[in-house]
Amino acid sequence: MSSPVAKVSYLLLLAILVAPLVSYTASTLAPTPITPPASTTGVTQEIQAGNYTYAATIEPAIVVFGGKVYVPYINVSNPTYAEGNVSLYVYDPATNTGTQLAVDTSGLAIDVNAVAGKDSILIAVTEFPSTTSYRDLYVYLYNVTEKKLVGPFTVSATKYYEEYPVVAYNPIVDMYAVAYFLSGTKASPLPITQFNVTLLKFSGDTVVTNITLGPFTTIGANISYTTVSLQIAPFLNGFVFMHQVVNNTDITNRDIAIHFIKPDGSYVDLPTIVTPGENETLGDIRYIYNPTTQANSTIYRPYGYTVINNNLYVAVYAYGSGMVKLLKITPTLTVSYINVDVGLRPHVVSGQTTFAVAYIKGTSITTGYPVAVIYDARTGSVVNSVILSAGGGSSFMSPQNMPFLSFSRGFYVSTWLANNPSSIFAFAFDELGSGVMVSSPIIPTTGFNMTPLGLRTIDSNFVVVYSGVNSTYTSTLNIYMGTIGVDLPTSTRVAVLYDPLGDDFGAGNITYPTADVFKPGVFDLKAFYLYQDSDYWYFKIQVNNLGDNPWSGPAGFCLQYIHIYIRTTAEM
């Protein structure tokens, strides 16, 4: 077969990427990614700085609205209780400028979250008056058009701990939902652990609907605030609320309870999928990295959800099996699990015709590596998979790592924290996982221990919010904006050659080594891809079975040793 490229004398780089170990079938989808225009290189803005042992700026939520980025966050003024004021940072990518707005000036805020509505952003804040030893939950409403803040509006103010607010907005019914954990100690009226949901509807600056649902109990046993797990998502003409429950017959096992909530406050309990020994969770207690301590254990963030093709997909992690899952809910409110892979800390997002799950592959954050699996939104079948870390392997992972994921203009973008070198990396790929971007250390370390806290895309730009703490405990909250196609250069696929499976016997009688690590298919070539951008050529080799990584190869695999031979002249 003749080569698709006659002359490659301007070859500058070979980047060999090998697909994960599962055999995938190519999809017939044919989206058309939009190649973004060139722009300036990535820029960084400091949102806030402080000088406390606890990270001075914590719990940022990230909302994209009208081409701008809104980041509500807590600026810690009391490091003993890790509480402070809530501010709203508004970043305009068009001018690379940001402005600050005071939201909650009580000095008592310990939790913050936010979601965009029709013309406003709802900001949920938990306050913790240390003199009363309980926590109250309020919301503020920031009108983006009028640039006006109203509130606070009380969601729940009792002698209990209302915390970990998770917020959602459904445009079909123009309604917000605030889900939260409610717990009480012996000092409270009654010792309880439960979940509540409050539905809110506004008319201008006025609350016209305020309905609180609950208690949604933890059933078999109490759930500690350090292991809490909840999620809420807009779906159909209501909301799907999910939370962790302890199994009635096995208190060592935890499953996910699911409720479909209607705008009038009524709800339907959907079937709980009982999975003995799995211990599913919908999110993690997150930590801001500090040189001497992981500070503030009250940061809860769910793994995320996406709605595509009228189906809701929710990212789930199962502690028992170490399996990354997707909880799928259909328009008829049927419930099922999709097992993705053995991994940790998943994040899910949808594109135009596909959806993708990014996660840390393996059983350990420090020895795994970030990957993404892409699914066909129509059939639910796997389209492709991508190793996100070009350097890969255990030396590239950090205990604070979570591969965030976003999508815009035909491209998925992911970001994560690497230990070696200590930098925040980004990686992008087209909707089918075939247009590979160059993995880049977009934010190299400058004496700070960094923690990426979120990622969003706006048109051709991607925005990363991250914190940094140095050895003197000076902490900062920062925002980085880069451009797909510039800071993450685009590439196009020039050619692909497919090889039949099951022909891994060389000239006819070569057999595999007898050691157990050489599993069937690890030398069975599946496909060869050639990509090109303005400066480089890239080669991708796909085998039928990557065979895990028994000898701890630095790129996440070790059994294959790829050779590519190139004729640099046209003469035969």
pLDDT of residue 19: 32
pLDDT of residue 17: 32
CA dist 459 and 537 (Å) reads 26
* Residue 518 CB burial class (10 angstroms; 0-12, 13-18, ≥19): middle
In DSSP notation, 143-200 reads ETTTTEEEEEEEEE-SSSEEEEEEEEEETTTTEEEEEEEEE--TTSSS--EEEEEEEE
Residue type, 320: G
CA dist 481 and 73 (Å) reads 18
CA dist 505 and 117 (Å) reads 59
The token pair that represents 392 in the structure block: 């890969």
- Paired with 406 in beta bridges are 413
CA dist 135 and 270 (Å) reads 30
Task: Look at the pTM and tell me if it is higher than 0.85.
Answer: no
CA dist 204 and 120 (Å) reads 10
pLDDT of residue 38: 34
CB 567 within 8 A of CB 11: no
pLDDT of residue 452: 77
Contacts of 310 (CB under 8 A, 6+ apart): 330, 331
pLDDT of residue 221: 62
CA dist 198 and 176 (Å) reads 8
Strands 193-203 and 175-183: antiparallel
pLDDT of residue 433: 82
* Residue segments in the chain with a per-residue pLDDT below the cut of 70: 1-41, 49-60, 79-81, 130-133, 185-192, 219-222, 224-226, 247-252, 286-299, 366, 389-401, 419-422, 435-441, 444-449, 469-474, 489-493, 533-535, 554-556, 571-572
Go through 371-388 and write b for each residue having 16 or more CB atoms within 10 A of its CB, e for each that does not.
bbbbbbbeeeebbbbbbb
